[in-house]
Structure 1
Amino acid sequence: MLQHRRLVLLLAVAAAAAAGGGASAKPTAYEALADYDFPPGILPKGVVAYTLDNSTGAFTATLDASASGAGKSVCEFSIQGSYSLRYQTKITGKIKPDHLYNLQGVSVKVLFLWINIVEVTRRGDNLEFSVGIASADFGIENFLECPNCGCGFDCNDLLMLKPGAATAKLRLRGAF
């Protein structure tokens, strides 16, 4: 009888360890970026899965297609009215501390053309985004929060349709 109680106790302890913390949880994609000294806001909200090979730095990030807005298969939004960004539902590349490269699935609109962002380098408090032939620097403070697909960082300024509403109201900035 005593051996039976010890066995039950041992099984209970083993089950508690396995369920409660025997294995550490995988960090989110945003937490993984921090391990390489990048802010979370270089990815939009809605990353549902990612892979990362720590030995090579190869990664993939998968965005929730339903979060893209308007039923699109891409995540698109404007930043400060001057740049439009587009993320495919699958983003790939390689990462090492302070450097993302061989990027695929992220593009910026320049004039009327969509150009792929191929590299992001952190230099102190700035991020340098490269499209191959040109680059632009932005302060890291612009990327501390993750943008939302469809509305970027200006989601609070949008008037959304509520379920059951027949029409949407449009508000023009600076008009009248």
Structure 2
Amino acid sequence: MLAHRFLLLIAVAAAAASGIASAKPTAYEALADYDFPPGILPKGVVAYTVDNATGAFTATLDASASGAGSSICEFSIEGSYSLRYQTKITGKISPDHLTDLQGVSVKVLFFWLNIVEVTRHGDNLEFSVGIAAADFGIDNFLECPTCGCGFDCNDLLMLQKAGAATARLRLRGAF
């Protein structure tokens, strides 16, 4: 009887260990397999797929993560760039290359342009909109931005805690 319980215990432990070992990595961890930092995707990826044979991928963002009840994740970075992610992002991934991207755009002047390709060159990421490209240091993408506030979420929370009067004063000073 004791031997039977011991064998059952070993079987349960082996099943648990294999379940832990086969757990699917997060989308952010999967990016690392292709030499990309996690911050090229915002927080809130709820599902993803990668076809290892073709590199085709999809990433699905939580629609409620936008902060505004919108199905689009939008935020500004350092006040100079506005980024927009659809709830479904698709493309092809291979080491150091994201191509055929759909669902990610950047605002340049007054126009929204689709980011169609991201290439890693050493410690830089090159973002291409087809007709132009821009390089950014990889250290800018070590942290994932949050929909609605990007990397400035602490500032937004401080404004909300300070109350509406402080926010109105701040807006009047901006004009």
TM-score scaled by structure 2?
Answer: 0.88
Retained in 2: the 8 A contact 1:58–1:92? yes
1:6 aligns with 2:12: no
1:123-138 to 2 correspondences below 5 Å: 123-138=121-136
- For 1:17, which of 14, 17, 40 is the aligned residue? 14
1:147-166 to 2 correspondences below 5 Å: 147-158=145-156, 159=158, 161=160
Q: Deviations over 1:91-146 (max 9, x none)?
A: 11110000000111100111221111010000111100001111111111111111
Distance 2:166 2:92 in 1: 43
Distance 1:16 1:65 in 2: 38
Measured after TM superposition, the shift of residue 7 of structure 1 is 3.0
Distance 1:119 1:54 in 2: 19
Retained in 2: the 8 A contact 1:69–1:150? yes
- Unaligned runs of at least 5 residues, structure 1: none
Retained in 2: the 8 A contact 1:77–1:86? yes
1:79-90 to 2 correspondences below 5 Å: 79-90=77-88
Measured after TM superposition, the shift of residue 161 of structure 1 is 4.2
Q: How many residues align?
A: 169
Measured after TM superposition, the shift of residue 9 of structure 1 is 2.2
Q: Percent of pairs identical after alignment?
A: 77
Measured after TM superposition, the shift of residue 56 of structure 1 is 1.2
Match of 1:121 in 2: 119
| Bigger helix fraction | 2
1:5-154 to 2 correspondences below 5 Å: 5-19=2-16, 21-23=17-19, 24=21, 25-154=23-152
Give the partner amino acid of 1:138. F
Q: Deviations over 1:136-161 (max 9, x none)?
A: 11111111111010000111111364
Measured after TM superposition, the shift of residue 78 of structure 1 is 0.4
C-alpha spacing 1:166/1:134, structure 2 compared with 1 (3 Å): closer
TM-score scaled by structure 1?
Answer: 0.88
Measured after TM superposition, the shift of residue 65 of structure 1 is 1.0
SS across alignment from 2:76: strand
Measured after TM superposition, the shift of residue 64 of structure 1 is 1.0
Retained in 2: the 8 A contact 1:59–1:95? yes
- Unaligned runs of at least 5 residues, structure 2: none
